Amino acid sequence: MGRSFFRKLLDDDSDDDEIIMKLLMGETSHRKRRRYIDRNHLAGHKRLYDDYFAEEPVYPPKVFRRRFRMRRSLFLRILSKVEAHEPYFIQKRNNAKKLGLSPLQKMTAALRMLAYGVTADFLDEYVRIAESTAMMSLKKFVAAVVAIFSEQYLRSPNNEDIARLLAHSQNRGFPGMLGSIDCMHWKWKNCPTVWKGMYCGHVHQPTIILEAVVSYDLWIWHSFFGLPGSNNDINVLDRSHLFSGLAQGRAPATISSPLGDKRKLFAKTQEAYRKDVERAFGVLQARFAIVRGPARFFYEETLHDIMKACIILHNMIIEDERDEAEAVDFDYEQIDEISCIPMSRERTNEFSEFIQVHQRIMDKEVHSQLQKNLVDHLWQLQGEL
Protein backbone atom coordinates (compact mmCIF):
# COMPACT_ATOMS: atom_id res chain seq x y z
CA MET A 1 0.00 0.00 0.00
CA GLY A 2 1.35 3.41 -0.91
CA ARG A 3 1.16 6.59 1.06
CA SER A 4 -1.46 7.99 -1.32
CA PHE A 5 -3.85 5.19 -0.36
CA PHE A 6 -3.96 6.13 3.34
CA ARG A 7 -4.17 9.84 2.39
CA LYS A 8 -7.22 9.06 0.31
CA LEU A 9 -8.83 7.30 3.27
CA LEU A 10 -8.18 10.27 5.52
CA ASP A 11 -9.53 12.73 2.94
CA ASP A 12 -12.80 10.79 2.65
CA ASP A 13 -15.77 11.67 4.85
CA SER A 14 -15.57 8.28 6.57
CA ASP A 15 -15.13 8.46 10.36
CA ASP A 16 -14.44 4.79 10.87
CA ASP A 17 -11.12 5.08 12.72
CA GLU A 18 -11.27 1.40 13.64
CA ILE A 19 -11.06 0.37 9.95
CA ILE A 20 -8.10 2.67 9.34
CA MET A 21 -6.26 1.31 12.37
CA LYS A 22 -6.82 -2.26 11.24
CA LEU A 23 -5.48 -1.41 7.80
CA LEU A 24 -2.45 0.23 9.35
CA MET A 25 -1.87 -2.92 11.43
CA GLY A 26 -1.99 -5.04 8.28
CA GLU A 27 -5.40 -6.62 8.89
CA THR A 28 -7.47 -7.19 5.77
CA SER A 29 -10.79 -7.96 7.53
CA HIS A 30 -12.77 -6.07 10.11
CA ARG A 31 -15.79 -6.50 12.31
CA LYS A 32 -18.69 -4.16 12.67
CA ARG A 33 -18.81 -1.95 15.69
CA ARG A 34 -20.72 -3.27 18.68
CA ARG A 35 -24.33 -2.16 18.62
CA TYR A 36 -25.90 -0.45 21.60
CA ILE A 37 -28.86 -2.40 22.98
CA ASP A 38 -31.71 -0.19 24.11
CA ARG A 39 -33.16 -2.36 26.86
CA ASN A 40 -35.82 0.16 27.90
CA HIS A 41 -35.05 0.05 31.63
CA LEU A 42 -38.18 1.98 32.57
CA ALA A 43 -40.45 -0.56 30.89
CA GLY A 44 -38.62 -3.35 32.69
CA HIS A 45 -39.06 -1.60 36.04
CA LYS A 46 -42.77 -1.00 35.40
CA ARG A 47 -43.38 -4.63 34.50
CA LEU A 48 -41.50 -5.82 37.59
CA TYR A 49 -43.35 -3.36 39.82
CA ASP A 50 -46.78 -4.28 38.43
CA ASP A 51 -46.06 -7.99 38.75
CA TYR A 52 -44.93 -8.03 42.39
CA PHE A 53 -44.88 -4.65 44.17
CA ALA A 54 -48.06 -2.80 43.18
CA GLU A 55 -51.00 -2.47 45.57
CA GLU A 56 -52.76 -5.19 43.56
CA PRO A 57 -49.89 -7.14 42.00
CA VAL A 58 -50.32 -9.63 39.20
CA TYR A 59 -48.82 -12.47 41.24
CA PRO A 60 -50.10 -13.32 44.75
CA PRO A 61 -47.90 -13.39 47.90
CA LYS A 62 -47.35 -17.15 47.66
CA VAL A 63 -45.80 -16.80 44.22
CA PHE A 64 -43.62 -13.92 45.45
CA ARG A 65 -42.49 -16.06 48.40
CA ARG A 66 -41.56 -18.96 46.14
CA ARG A 67 -39.70 -16.89 43.53
CA PHE A 68 -37.91 -14.49 45.87
CA ARG A 69 -37.49 -17.00 48.75
CA MET A 70 -38.91 -14.47 51.24
CA ARG A 71 -41.92 -12.32 51.99
CA ARG A 72 -42.33 -9.01 50.22
CA SER A 73 -42.07 -7.09 53.50
CA LEU A 74 -38.66 -8.64 54.23
CA PHE A 75 -37.53 -7.99 50.65
CA LEU A 76 -38.40 -4.29 50.95
CA ARG A 77 -36.71 -4.03 54.35
CA ILE A 78 -33.50 -5.46 52.97
CA LEU A 79 -33.74 -3.24 49.89
CA SER A 80 -34.04 -0.05 51.96
CA LYS A 81 -30.98 -0.98 54.05
CA VAL A 82 -28.90 -1.97 51.03
CA GLU A 83 -29.86 1.16 49.11
CA ALA A 84 -28.89 3.36 52.06
CA HIS A 85 -25.57 1.53 52.48
CA GLU A 86 -24.46 1.04 48.87
CA PRO A 87 -24.83 4.00 46.41
CA TYR A 88 -24.65 1.56 43.50
CA PHE A 89 -28.30 0.62 44.09
CA ILE A 90 -29.57 4.20 43.88
CA GLN A 91 -31.29 4.91 40.57
CA LYS A 92 -29.30 7.45 38.57
CA ARG A 93 -29.40 9.24 35.22
CA ASN A 94 -26.76 8.73 32.57
CA ASN A 95 -25.08 11.43 30.51
CA ALA A 96 -28.08 11.50 28.20
CA LYS A 97 -30.31 12.24 31.24
CA LYS A 98 -32.03 8.88 30.93
CA LEU A 99 -32.94 6.99 34.09
CA GLY A 100 -30.96 3.85 34.67
CA LEU A 101 -31.90 0.64 36.43
CA SER A 102 -33.98 0.89 39.57
CA PRO A 103 -33.01 -0.66 42.94
CA LEU A 104 -35.83 -3.18 42.45
CA GLN A 105 -34.30 -4.40 39.20
CA LYS A 106 -30.78 -4.71 40.58
CA MET A 107 -31.79 -6.51 43.78
CA THR A 108 -34.21 -8.77 41.89
CA ALA A 109 -31.41 -9.77 39.53
CA ALA A 110 -29.09 -10.51 42.45
CA LEU A 111 -31.69 -12.56 44.35
CA ARG A 112 -32.73 -14.55 41.28
CA MET A 113 -29.11 -15.52 40.69
CA LEU A 114 -28.79 -16.60 44.33
CA ALA A 115 -32.12 -18.41 44.38
CA TYR A 116 -31.97 -20.19 41.02
CA GLY A 117 -28.22 -20.39 40.44
CA VAL A 118 -28.66 -19.10 36.87
CA THR A 119 -26.15 -17.22 34.77
CA ALA A 120 -26.25 -13.44 34.60
CA ASP A 121 -27.59 -13.15 31.03
CA PHE A 122 -30.58 -15.35 31.93
CA LEU A 123 -32.23 -12.32 33.57
CA ASP A 124 -31.87 -9.89 30.69
CA GLU A 125 -35.15 -10.54 28.90
CA TYR A 126 -37.38 -9.97 31.95
CA VAL A 127 -35.46 -7.62 34.26
CA ARG A 128 -33.87 -5.77 31.32
CA ILE A 129 -30.39 -5.84 32.79
CA ALA A 130 -27.11 -6.52 31.00
CA GLU A 131 -24.94 -9.47 31.95
CA SER A 132 -22.10 -7.35 33.34
CA THR A 133 -24.54 -5.20 35.33
CA ALA A 134 -26.24 -8.29 36.77
CA MET A 135 -22.88 -9.67 37.87
CA MET A 136 -21.94 -6.36 39.47
CA SER A 137 -25.34 -6.19 41.20
CA LEU A 138 -24.80 -9.64 42.69
CA LYS A 139 -21.32 -8.80 44.00
CA LYS A 140 -22.41 -5.44 45.41
CA PHE A 141 -25.54 -6.98 46.97
CA VAL A 142 -23.82 -9.85 48.81
CA ALA A 143 -21.07 -7.53 50.05
CA ALA A 144 -23.69 -5.07 51.35
CA VAL A 145 -25.70 -7.83 53.08
CA VAL A 146 -22.58 -9.10 54.84
CA ALA A 147 -21.57 -5.58 55.91
CA ILE A 148 -25.03 -4.57 57.16
CA PHE A 149 -26.49 -7.70 58.75
CA SER A 150 -23.52 -9.81 59.94
CA GLU A 151 -23.52 -8.37 63.43
CA GLN A 152 -27.13 -9.36 64.01
CA TYR A 153 -27.58 -12.52 61.97
CA LEU A 154 -24.14 -14.13 62.35
CA ARG A 155 -23.90 -13.49 66.08
CA SER A 156 -23.31 -15.90 68.92
CA PRO A 157 -26.37 -16.88 70.98
CA ASN A 158 -27.22 -14.54 73.86
CA ASN A 159 -28.62 -15.56 77.24
CA GLU A 160 -32.19 -15.69 75.96
CA ASP A 161 -31.19 -17.84 72.99
CA ILE A 162 -29.14 -20.16 75.21
CA ALA A 163 -32.07 -20.64 77.59
CA ARG A 164 -34.39 -21.56 74.73
CA LEU A 165 -31.89 -23.95 73.16
CA LEU A 166 -31.08 -25.62 76.49
CA ALA A 167 -34.76 -26.11 77.24
CA HIS A 168 -35.29 -27.84 73.92
CA SER A 169 -32.18 -30.01 74.22
CA GLN A 170 -33.26 -31.01 77.75
CA ASN A 171 -36.55 -32.29 76.37
CA ARG A 172 -34.73 -34.27 73.69
CA GLY A 173 -32.47 -35.99 76.20
CA PHE A 174 -29.24 -34.05 75.59
CA PRO A 175 -28.97 -31.48 78.39
CA GLY A 176 -26.43 -28.75 77.78
CA MET A 177 -26.41 -29.17 73.99
CA LEU A 178 -26.85 -25.97 71.95
CA GLY A 179 -26.76 -27.44 68.44
CA SER A 180 -25.12 -29.87 66.06
CA ILE A 181 -22.06 -29.32 63.86
CA ASP A 182 -21.21 -30.65 60.43
CA CYS A 183 -19.49 -29.72 57.16
CA MET A 184 -20.75 -29.14 53.61
CA HIS A 185 -18.72 -29.09 50.39
CA TRP A 186 -19.36 -26.51 47.64
CA LYS A 187 -17.94 -27.42 44.23
CA TRP A 188 -15.65 -24.78 42.75
CA LYS A 189 -15.96 -25.09 38.97
CA ASN A 190 -13.59 -22.22 38.14
CA CYS A 191 -10.95 -23.01 40.72
CA PRO A 192 -7.54 -21.76 39.53
CA THR A 193 -5.51 -24.61 38.08
CA VAL A 194 -2.60 -24.13 40.49
CA TRP A 195 -4.96 -24.67 43.45
CA LYS A 196 -6.90 -27.70 42.19
CA GLY A 197 -4.66 -30.24 43.89
CA MET A 198 -5.16 -28.55 47.25
CA TYR A 199 -8.93 -28.18 46.88
CA CYS A 200 -9.66 -31.70 45.56
CA GLY A 201 -10.78 -34.23 48.17
CA HIS A 202 -12.80 -37.41 48.18
CA VAL A 203 -15.16 -36.10 45.50
CA HIS A 204 -12.18 -35.68 43.11
CA GLN A 205 -13.30 -32.15 42.22
CA PRO A 206 -12.27 -28.81 43.72
CA THR A 207 -14.53 -27.93 46.64
CA ILE A 208 -14.61 -25.40 49.45
CA ILE A 209 -15.85 -26.47 52.87
CA LEU A 210 -18.51 -24.82 55.01
CA GLU A 211 -18.58 -25.75 58.70
CA ALA A 212 -21.76 -24.80 60.53
CA VAL A 213 -23.42 -25.15 63.93
CA VAL A 214 -27.20 -25.39 63.65
CA SER A 215 -29.94 -25.48 66.25
CA TYR A 216 -33.22 -27.36 66.08
CA ASP A 217 -35.02 -24.43 64.39
CA LEU A 218 -32.45 -24.47 61.52
CA TRP A 219 -30.83 -21.22 62.65
CA ILE A 220 -27.14 -21.21 61.72
CA TRP A 221 -25.25 -19.89 64.76
CA HIS A 222 -21.74 -20.40 63.52
CA SER A 223 -20.18 -20.66 60.07
CA PHE A 224 -16.59 -21.24 59.04
CA PHE A 225 -16.10 -21.17 55.27
CA GLY A 226 -13.06 -21.31 53.06
CA LEU A 227 -11.01 -24.41 53.88
CA PRO A 228 -9.88 -26.53 50.90
CA GLY A 229 -11.95 -29.59 50.10
CA SER A 230 -8.99 -31.90 50.71
CA ASN A 231 -9.63 -31.55 54.46
CA ASN A 232 -11.86 -33.98 56.30
CA ASP A 233 -14.32 -32.98 59.03
CA ILE A 234 -11.82 -33.52 61.85
CA ASN A 235 -9.20 -31.33 60.19
CA VAL A 236 -11.81 -28.63 59.63
CA LEU A 237 -12.74 -28.70 63.30
CA ASP A 238 -9.09 -28.49 64.30
CA ARG A 239 -8.64 -25.33 62.23
CA SER A 240 -12.03 -23.78 62.97
CA HIS A 241 -12.17 -20.59 65.01
CA LEU A 242 -15.12 -22.06 66.90
CA PHE A 243 -12.74 -23.59 69.47
CA SER A 244 -9.65 -21.50 68.78
CA GLY A 245 -10.34 -19.40 71.86
CA LEU A 246 -10.19 -22.53 73.99
CA ALA A 247 -7.90 -25.07 72.40
CA GLN A 248 -7.23 -27.07 69.26
CA GLY A 249 -9.84 -29.69 70.12
CA ARG A 250 -10.97 -32.87 68.44
CA ALA A 251 -14.45 -33.90 67.46
CA PRO A 252 -15.91 -36.46 69.90
CA ALA A 253 -16.46 -39.86 68.40
CA THR A 254 -19.95 -41.27 68.14
CA ILE A 255 -20.88 -44.83 68.92
CA SER A 256 -20.22 -46.53 65.58
CA SER A 257 -21.34 -50.04 66.57
CA PRO A 258 -23.66 -49.70 69.57
CA LEU A 259 -24.17 -52.78 71.73
CA GLY A 260 -27.06 -53.13 74.14
CA ASP A 261 -30.42 -51.41 74.21
CA LYS A 262 -29.14 -48.33 76.09
CA ARG A 263 -26.34 -47.56 73.67
CA LYS A 264 -28.51 -48.33 70.64
CA LEU A 265 -31.13 -45.85 71.88
CA PHE A 266 -28.42 -43.25 72.47
CA ALA A 267 -26.88 -43.73 69.02
CA LYS A 268 -30.30 -43.55 67.34
CA THR A 269 -31.28 -40.38 69.19
CA GLN A 270 -27.89 -38.76 68.62
CA GLU A 271 -28.15 -39.51 64.91
CA ALA A 272 -31.62 -37.94 64.84
CA TYR A 273 -30.29 -34.84 66.60
CA ARG A 274 -27.48 -34.53 64.04
CA LYS A 275 -30.11 -34.45 61.31
CA ASP A 276 -30.73 -30.82 62.29
CA VAL A 277 -27.56 -29.60 60.63
CA GLU A 278 -28.02 -31.88 57.62
CA ARG A 279 -31.57 -30.60 57.21
CA ALA A 280 -30.31 -27.01 57.48
CA PHE A 281 -27.80 -27.64 54.69
CA GLY A 282 -30.62 -29.08 52.58
CA VAL A 283 -32.84 -26.06 53.21
CA LEU A 284 -29.97 -23.66 52.49
CA GLN A 285 -29.22 -25.36 49.18
CA ALA A 286 -32.89 -25.58 48.22
CA ARG A 287 -33.48 -21.94 49.10
CA PHE A 288 -30.34 -20.68 47.33
CA ALA A 289 -29.44 -22.95 44.45
CA ILE A 290 -26.23 -21.03 43.81
CA VAL A 291 -24.57 -22.93 46.70
CA ARG A 292 -25.94 -26.25 45.43
CA GLY A 293 -24.48 -26.05 41.95
CA PRO A 294 -20.85 -25.50 40.98
CA ALA A 295 -19.42 -22.10 41.83
CA ARG A 296 -18.56 -20.20 38.66
CA PHE A 297 -16.64 -17.33 40.21
CA PHE A 298 -12.87 -17.15 40.03
CA TYR A 299 -12.02 -15.22 43.20
CA GLU A 300 -12.38 -16.87 46.58
CA GLU A 301 -13.35 -13.54 48.21
CA THR A 302 -16.49 -13.44 46.07
CA LEU A 303 -17.41 -16.97 47.14
CA HIS A 304 -16.96 -15.96 50.78
CA ASP A 305 -19.40 -13.08 50.38
CA ILE A 306 -21.94 -15.24 48.54
CA MET A 307 -21.90 -18.00 51.17
CA LYS A 308 -22.11 -15.56 54.09
CA ALA A 309 -24.90 -13.60 52.42
CA CYS A 310 -26.91 -16.80 51.82
CA ILE A 311 -26.53 -17.80 55.47
CA ILE A 312 -27.57 -14.33 56.65
CA LEU A 313 -30.61 -14.29 54.36
CA HIS A 314 -31.45 -17.83 55.53
CA ASN A 315 -31.47 -16.67 59.16
CA MET A 316 -33.45 -13.55 58.29
CA ILE A 317 -36.12 -15.66 56.60
CA ILE A 318 -36.31 -17.99 59.61
CA GLU A 319 -36.74 -15.02 61.94
CA ASP A 320 -39.36 -13.42 59.71
CA GLU A 321 -41.42 -16.61 59.39
CA ARG A 322 -40.91 -17.93 62.90
CA ASP A 323 -44.41 -16.94 64.04
CA GLU A 324 -46.02 -19.22 61.48
CA ALA A 325 -44.16 -22.33 62.68
CA GLU A 326 -44.28 -21.53 66.39
CA ALA A 327 -47.51 -23.38 67.11
CA VAL A 328 -46.16 -26.59 65.53
CA ASP A 329 -42.41 -26.79 66.00
CA PHE A 330 -41.48 -24.54 68.93
CA ASP A 331 -41.99 -25.08 72.64
CA TYR A 332 -41.23 -22.08 74.86
CA GLU A 333 -43.09 -23.24 77.96
CA GLN A 334 -39.97 -24.20 79.94
CA ILE A 335 -37.88 -21.14 79.12
CA ASP A 336 -38.98 -19.23 82.19
CA GLU A 337 -38.00 -22.12 84.45
CA ILE A 338 -34.32 -21.87 83.45
CA SER A 339 -32.37 -19.05 85.01
CA CYS A 340 -29.90 -17.31 82.71
CA ILE A 341 -26.29 -17.55 83.86
CA PRO A 342 -24.79 -14.06 84.17
CA MET A 343 -21.60 -13.41 82.25
CA SER A 344 -18.52 -12.88 84.37
CA ARG A 345 -16.66 -9.60 83.89
CA GLU A 346 -13.79 -10.40 86.25
CA ARG A 347 -10.24 -10.80 84.95
CA THR A 348 -8.78 -14.30 85.19
CA ASN A 349 -5.44 -15.90 84.61
CA GLU A 350 -5.92 -16.56 80.92
CA PHE A 351 -3.00 -18.90 80.40
CA SER A 352 -3.77 -21.25 83.29
CA GLU A 353 -7.44 -21.27 82.39
CA PHE A 354 -6.55 -22.12 78.79
CA ILE A 355 -4.41 -25.08 79.93
CA GLN A 356 -7.19 -26.41 82.15
CA VAL A 357 -9.83 -26.13 79.44
CA HIS A 358 -7.46 -27.69 76.92
CA GLN A 359 -6.92 -30.66 79.18
CA ARG A 360 -10.64 -31.13 79.72
CA ILE A 361 -11.31 -31.05 75.99
CA MET A 362 -8.57 -33.55 75.19
CA ASP A 363 -9.34 -35.89 78.12
CA LYS A 364 -10.82 -39.08 76.64
CA GLU A 365 -11.92 -40.34 80.04
CA VAL A 366 -14.02 -37.21 80.60
CA HIS A 367 -15.60 -37.65 77.19
CA SER A 368 -16.32 -41.33 77.82
CA GLN A 369 -17.87 -40.56 81.19
CA LEU A 370 -20.02 -37.80 79.70
CA GLN A 371 -21.18 -40.11 76.95
CA LYS A 372 -22.04 -42.82 79.52
CA ASN A 373 -24.01 -40.32 81.61
CA LEU A 374 -25.96 -39.21 78.54
CA VAL A 375 -26.68 -42.84 77.62
CA ASP A 376 -28.11 -43.52 81.10
CA HIS A 377 -30.01 -40.24 81.15
CA LEU A 378 -31.61 -40.86 77.77
CA TRP A 379 -32.53 -44.42 78.76
CA GLN A 380 -34.32 -43.12 81.86
CA LEU A 381 -36.29 -40.67 79.73
CA GLN A 382 -37.26 -42.92 76.81
CA GLY A 383 -35.95 -46.45 77.21
CA GLU A 384 -38.51 -47.68 79.71
CA LEU A 385 -41.53 -46.18 77.92
pLDDT higher than threshold 80 for residue 264: no
How many domains, in total, are found in the chain? 2
Residue 141 lies in a domain: yes
Highest-pLDDT range among 39-48, 166-175, 356-365? 39-48
pLDDT higher than threshold 80 for residue 245: no
Distance CA 12, CA 6 (A): 10
Q: Comparing 58-62, 215-219, 371-375, which segment has the lowest mean pLDDT?
A: 371-375
More confident residue, 122 or 1: 122
Q: Which of 128, 149, 170 is at the close of a domain?
A: 149
Residue 86 lies in a domain: yes
Distance CA 319, CA 58 (A): 27
> Are 184 and 271 in the same domain?
yes
pLDDT band at 251 (very low <50, low <70, confident <90, very high): very low
> Are 140 and 169 in the same domain?
no
More confident residue, 229 or 145: 145
What domain range includes position 130?
41-149
Q: Which of 91, 124, 149 is at the close of a domain?
A: 149
pLDDT higher than threshold 80 for residue 216: yes
pLDDT higher than threshold 80 for residue 11: no
Q: Comparing 148-152, 176-180, 342-346, which segment has the lowest mean pLDDT?
A: 342-346
Angle at 335 between CA 172 and CA 164, to 5 degrees: 60
Check residue 209 and give its pLDDT.
84
> Are 284 and 141 in the same domain?
no
From residue 211, how far is each of 36, 69, 182, 241, 303 by CA, in Å?
Answer: 45, 23, 6, 10, 15
Residue 207 lies in a domain: yes
Residue 126 lies in a domain: yes
Q: Which of 130, 149, 168 is at the close of a domain?
A: 149
> Are 173 and 92 in the same domain?
no
> Are 82 and 220 in the same domain?
no
Residue 10 lies in a domain: no
> Are 113 and 209 in the same domain?
no
- Strand partners for 100: none
- Name the average pLDDT for the chain: 75
pLDDT band at 105 (very low <50, low <70, confident <90, very high): very high
> Are 142 and 167 in the same domain?
no
Residue 371 lies in a domain: yes
> Are 202 and 343 in the same domain?
yes
Angle at 151 between CA 146 and CA 157, to 5 degrees: 125
| Mean pLDDT in residue range 51-56 | 94
pLDDT higher than threshold 90 for residue 78: yes
Residue 27 lies in a domain: no
pLDDT higher than threshold 70 for residue 1: no
> Are 253 and 119 in the same domain?
no
> Are 325 and 187 in the same domain?
yes
> Are 337 and 197 in the same domain?
yes
| Mean pLDDT in residue range 182-190 | 84
Check residue 366 and give its pLDDT.
67
pLDDT higher than threshold 50 for residue 40: yes
Residue 265 lies in a domain: yes
> Are 341 and 366 in the same domain?
yes
